[in-house]
Amino acid sequence: MNLDYEFAGLPLHVLLVHVIVVAVPALGLALIVAAAWPAARRVLWIPLLIAAAALVPLGLATIEAGKWLEVRVPPAPLIQEHTAQGEDIVPWLWGLLAIAVLIAVWAVGERVFRRRATSSSGDGAAGRRLGRGAVVSTSIVLSIVAIGVTAGSTATLVRVAEAGSRAVWEGSFSDEPLEN
C-alpha cells in the first residue's frame, strides 16, 4: 500500500514524531501513577488503556511516515542512523500497552474483590487483611514494571529522537545570528 505521508505540505513524520515524543513519557508516567495509587487506577484505567492502544498504531504510522520521508531526502549517514534506530521503539510501545492491560485487569479485579468483600458474610476482617496485602503487593510489582518500561521507552525515544534531530539540524544553522 503506497500512502502519501504529507499533511498541509509537510511530511507527516515531522508532525507525528512530536506526538510520540510527548505521549510516550506522559503515558509512562501516568501508568506509574495508576499502578502505584489505587484511587488513580480506579479513575484512569480506561483512558490509559485507550491511550496505550492508540499509541501503538500511531508509533507504527510514524515509522512508516519516516520511511516514506527517508527516500525523499538526500542520503546521509545521520538519516540512515536515525532510520535504523526508529523501529527500536516498537517493543516499548507494546510494553506500555501490556502494562496498561495489566493495570486494567487489576482495576477490574479490585472492583470485583471489593464488591465480594462487602457482600460476603463471616469474618470480613481476615478477608480485608488478605485483600490489602494482595493490593499492596500487586501495586508494588506493577509499579516496578511500569517504571522499568517507562524508563526503557523514554531512553529509547530520546536516543532515536536525538539521532533524528542531529540528522535535520547538525551543520544547518549558524552559531551567530544571520543578518536580515
Q: What is the 3-state secondary structure (H, E, C) of 70-131?
A: HCCCCCCHHHHHHHHHHHHHHHHHHHHHHHHHHHHHHHHHHHHHHHHHHHCCCCHHHHHHHH
Mean per-residue pLDDT, 30-43: 95
> To which residue does cell 535535520 refer?
168
User: Would you state the pLDDT for residue 103?
Assistant: 96
Q: Distances from the Cα of 129 to the Cαs of 24, 41, 51, 145, 151, in angstroms? A: 36, 20, 34, 24, 33
**For the ranges 59-63, 95-99, 125-129, 134-138, which has the lowest average pLDDT?**
125-129
CB atoms within 10 A of CB 58: 17
52-88: pLDDT as tens digits: 999 999 999 999 999 999 999 888 888 889 999 999 9
Position 149, amino acid: V
Whole-structure pTM value: 0.87
Position 151, amino acid: A
131-159: pLDDT as tens digits: 677 778 889 999 999 999 999 999 999 99
